[in-house]
Amino acid sequence: MGFEFKGSQSASQLESFSYDDAIVRKFFWATLIWGIVAFLVGVILAVQLAFPQANIIPQVAFGRLRPLHTNAAIFAFAGNAIFTAVYYSTQRLCKARMWSDTLSKLHFWGWQLIIVSAAITLPLGITQSKEYAELEWPIDIAIAVVWVGFFGTNFMMTLVKRRERHMYVALWFYIASLVAVTILHVFNNLWVPVGLVQFLQTGEFGSAETIMKSYPLYAGVQDAFMQWWYGHNAVAFFLTTPFLGLMYYFLPKAANRPVFSYKLSIIHFWSLVFIYIWAGPHHLHYTALPQWASTLGMVFSLMLWMPSWGGMINGLLTLRGAWHKVATDPVLKFFVVGITFYGMSTFEGPLLSVKTVNALSHYTDWTIAHVHSGTLGWNSFMTFGMLYWLAPRLFQTGKLHSEKLASLHFWTGTIGILLYVISIYTAGITQGLMWRAFDESGQLMYPEFIETVTRLIPFYWIRAVGGTLFLLSACLGGYNLVMTWKARPKKYEVPVHEAPALSKEYDDGPPAVSRLTSNAGIGHAGDRFLQGHWHRRWERLPVRFTVWVVIAVGVASLFEIIPTFLIRSNETTISTVLPYTPLEVAGRDIYIAEGCYNCHSQMIRPIYSETQRYGEYTKPGETVYDRPFQWGSRRIGPDLAREGVTNPNSAWHYQHFENPQVFTEGSIMPSYKHLLKGELDFGAIQPRIRALAMVGTPYGEAVKSAEPMARSQAKRIADDIRTQMPGVELPEDLENRKVIALIAYIQRLGTDIQATPEQIELRKSEGAGQ
């Protein structure tokens, strides 16, 4: 017995087929393993913040490890969970095996290889420094090949070759994810590889570090805009839409009843796809981004409330009449709490996009709590619910090893999440309020930034405990799933199904006929349109449907991107702002490699408490040579946009990098003494300047003689340190150490708008532009 012949499908001969569950099992295990890795790295990071002495090895210090955690959580854990859901549900919803087993395997192994590449390169400091897009250009290309070439082709061809006429709404969400992530990934990763420039110009390949390095085509405001257009929509189309597809498929299965309202799911889908893409600029409120873009992002973020809550309500009401099962079924427990967290996160997201709320929340731990309620509560719990539902079916055991253990996993995980988010919400709001507090005389109540750091340490410890509980709960889940797998049969049985192929000729039924009696032609046309035959055609035509999704995503993107790139006022030029000198470029790349942007912003907002604390607010024209931009998104440490103005002392920075606690008692910044020992590769500077010149930075003489210019500036700074630290034994070749380049960069920050003619001349002589 196969699938029942339905409706107007062709009466052609039944075809036999089986599903490829072997690939689902592979992604299943990858999800579990990478999930535990991501949670473990998260716990290490939490401890490093509360106890900075835990930053022992430079390669796994907080700045380098944090991107590894986010990438592991998003692309390794959530990514493999998405693929598990897609490969299982797509085959069944299409009544077809995946189009190509070879592409399925290439997709699986290619994706795991990308994850391993990330795990190697990020601790080595090979990064683009764009959040959730840190991976360097060779890995970016691999992602595009695996995502579009292997996964995309296989998925779309399965849709084309399907045996079920209608595409269920879960498939729509998968299509949107596939299309949008492709667009986002490609346009946020347009770069010039330094090694390629060097090879084309000199015929030499350069060092491994040079080969891996790239600079983005965008700079400053445009780079920030593109990054957060990407960053926000990575959350939308990687952590939301595919998980909604998962919800719309696996929740009805687990509850054994259809989704509450299929009509609502259609509204949910189109509204979400159309609105989400506009909302990115809310990550850049009160920054140097144009106000119109910021407001546009806020308004569309607020509108997201409607479809998001429509989806949540649709999910929860699917359990109507089945709530009694939630008390006993661990799968439903995970789903119910997961969907509830979806509702809370999607309520909080628009709230945080309101400018006045954002003025308080931005750069604080509030954002961290928000993203963790989403990833731990929504993504992780939906994933674990799915894994528990799948395990007995994929391993053909008929039941889980232990439902009690699954419930214990659920409760431990829930308590872990609550400890995490409540403590970090408290920390974030405390932090934001302390930054903006004034005393009776109108002075900052907490002028020393460290006061706002030490106040948070107890919350950081509670977060570490919550994270550890969540990690332990995942390990319990892992044990339960492994024990379930151990009870598998010696050989998996592969059910054979039957269904008729879709006929090429499809009768849409008679064309819509107007039901109106008036003689107005437009009225008849309107009535025919409203009967929706046209949309029903789209819903069974995957390619046409995909084109409309591309249009929905593309229109919104272009409306925001084109003005940002074309309007001159976005790139107000400031005559005293010059490109970075070759040594400063080298220092900037060290700043990026060490992940300093994970703790320090470089964007002073035009808010009184900020200008009082850090100095003059940041102008768009100050960052026109920033490739990539370094505005940051978080202030674990103070903003550095005017560090060169407020703290120009070379010796101070030298000693501070060696031991931050010497100057700031209670500082949680790790020591960077390895930079005091490491030698700077002066030979790698020239190709970097050439690459920057290629993307439009107006370098003059430095295009040919960057290295001697860098050496000259390094000697000046090293001599400066020797003069400021008399009697202290310093390395003889101090000017060759990495820390000198980093100091050069830090000393430059924020100084351009007040640069004197003498400073400008000195900078030009050291290679800063024409």
Partner 1 sequence: MRLTDIMSHMALSVWAEIAMVIFQIVFVLVVARVLFAPRAMVERIASLPLEDDGDFSLFEEVE
Largest CA distance in the chain: 100
Nearer to partner 1, 572 or 659 (CB): 572
Instruction: Work out how close the CB of 512 gets to partner 1 at its nearest, in angstroms, rounded to a whole number.
Output: 10
Instruction: Work out how close the CB of 14 gets to partner 1 at its nearest, in angstroms, rounded to a whole number.
Output: 12
Instruction: Work out how close the CB of 299 gets to partner 1 at its nearest, in angstroms, rounded to a whole number.
Output: 7
Token reading at 28: 């299943």
Token reading at 193: 């590889």
Instruction: Work out how close the CB of 88 gets to partner 1 at its nearest, in angstroms, rounded to a whole number.
Output: 10
CA distance 294 to 284: 7
Nearer to partner 1, 544 or 704 (CB): 544
Instruction: Work out how close the CB of 317 gets to partner 1 at its nearest, in angstroms, rounded to a whole number.
Output: 13
CA distance 246 to 268: 14
Q: Which of 711, 683, 618, 750 is nearest to 288 (CA)?
A: 618
Chain mean position to CA 348? 18
Q: Which residues bind partner 1 (CB under 8 A)?
A: 1-4, 6-7, 18, 22, 89, 92-93, 95, 164, 166, 168-170, 248-249, 252-253, 256-259, 262-264, 266-267, 270-271, 274-275, 278, 290, 292, 295-296, 299-300, 303, 491-498, 529-532, 535-536, 552, 555-556, 559, 562-563, 566-569
Nearer to partner 1, 239 or 275 (CB): 275
Nearer to partner 1, 314 or 736 (CB): 314
b vs e for 187-211, b when ≥16 Cβ sit within 10 Å of the residue's Cβ? ebbebbbbbbbbbeeeeeebeebbb
Nearer to partner 1, 300 or 617 (CB): 300
Give one word for 283, left, alpha or beta, with left for phi > 0 and alpha for psi -120 to 50. alpha
640 to each of 134, 410, 573, 610, 756, how far by Cα in Å?
A: 21, 42, 21, 12, 21
Instruction: Work out how close the CB of 563 gets to partner 1 at its nearest, in angstroms, rounded to a whole number.
Output: 6
b vs e for 42-55, b when ≥16 Cβ sit within 10 Å of the residue's Cβ? bbbbbbbbbebebb
Nearer to partner 1, 319 or 369 (CB): 319
Q: Which residues does 287 contact at the CB level (< 8 Å), separation at least 6?
A: 224, 294, 603, 605, 618, 631
Instruction: Work out how close the CB of 137 gets to partner 1 at its nearest, in angstroms, rounded to a whole number.
Output: 29
Nearer to partner 1, 312 or 636 (CB): 312
CA distance 38 to 731: 40
Instruction: Work out how close the CB of 539 gets to partner 1 at its nearest, in angstroms, rounded to a whole number.
Output: 8
Write down the H helix ranges in 304-364.
Answer: 305-317, 323-326, 330-353, 355-361
Nearer to partner 1, 497 or 748 (CB): 497
Q: Which residues does 294 contact at the CB level (< 8 Å), separation at least 6?
A: 281, 282, 284, 285, 286, 287, 355
* 3 state SS of 16: strand
Instruction: Work out how close the CB of 542 gets to partner 1 at its nearest, in angstroms, rounded to a whole number.
Output: 15
Token reading at 131: 């959040």
In this structure, are strands 214-216 and 191-193 parallel, antiparallel, or unpaired? antiparallel
Q: Which of 558, 592, 590 is nearest to 739 (CA)?
A: 590
Instruction: Work out how close the CB of 705 gets to partner 1 at its nearest, in angstroms, rounded to a whole number.
Output: 34
Q: Which of 305, 245, 252 is nearest to 276 (CA)?
A: 305
Nearer to partner 1, 29 or 270 (CB): 270
Nearer to partner 1, 442 or 489 (CB): 489
CA distance 749 to 753: 10
Instruction: Work out how close the CB of 497 gets to partner 1 at its nearest, in angstroms, rounded to a whole number.
Output: 5
Instruction: Work out how close the CB of 79 gets to partner 1 at its nearest, in angstroms, rounded to a whole number.
Output: 23
Instruction: Work out how close the CB of 414 gets to partner 1 at its nearest, in angstroms, rounded to a whole number.
Output: 27
User: Do residues 542 and 49 lie in contact, with contact meaning Cβ atoms separated by under 8 Å?
Assistant: no
Q: Which residues does 541 contact at the CB level (< 8 Å), separation at least 6?
A: none
Nearer to partner 1, 294 or 602 (CB): 294
Token reading at 490: 């010696």
Instruction: Work out how close the CB of 387 gets to partner 1 at its nearest, in angstroms, rounded to a whole number.
Output: 17
Nearer to partner 1, 6 or 677 (CB): 6
* 3 state SS of 440: coil
CA distance 691 to 708: 18
H or E, element range at 193: strand 191-193
Using the 8-state DSSP alphabet, how is residue 73 labeled? I
Nearer to partner 1, 17 or 470 (CB): 17
Nearer to partner 1, 321 or 495 (CB): 495
Nearest 5 degrees, angle CA 428-CA 432-CA 436?
Answer: 170
